[in-house]
Amino acid sequence: MFKKLFILCLLSIVFFTKSYAQYCLPTFSVSCTSADFIDNVSTTGGIANISNMGTGCNGALPNNYTFFNTMSVSQIQGFNFNVTVQSGTLWSQGFRIWIDWNQDLDFNDLGEDVFVSATSATTPFLATITVPVTALPGPTRMRVMCRFATVPLITDYCSTGNSFGETEDYIMEVIPATPCAGTPVAGSATPATTTVCVNQTVNLGLSGATYAGQ
More confident residue, 102 or 13: 102
- Please tell me the predicted confidence (pLDDT) of residue 25: 95
Q: Is residue 190 part of a domain?
A: no
Q: Provide the domain count of the chain.
A: 1
Q: Is residue 14 part of a domain?
A: no
CA 41/CA 53 separation, integer angstroms: 6
Q: Is residue 9 part of a domain?
A: no
Q: Is residue 113 part of a domain?
A: yes
Domain residue limits at 158:
21-175
Residue 15 has pLDDT above 80, yes or no: no
Mean of per-residue pLDDT scores for the chain: 86
pLDDT digits (tens, 9 = 90+) for 56-72: 999 888 899 999 999 99
Q: Is residue 122 part of a domain?
A: yes
CATH assignment at residue 119: 2.60.40.10
pTM above 0.85, yes or no: no
Q: Is residue 13 part of a domain?
A: no
- In the predicted model, what is the mean pLDDT of residues 121-139? 98
DSSP for 189-202, please give it: EEES-S---TT---
Residue 21 has pLDDT above 70, yes or no: no
Residue 203 pLDDT class (50, 70, 90 cuts): low
Q: Is residue 162 part of a domain?
A: yes
3-state helix vs strand vs coil in the chain, percent to 5:
10, 35, 50
Residue 188 has pLDDT above 50, yes or no: yes
Q: Is residue 195 part of a domain?
A: no
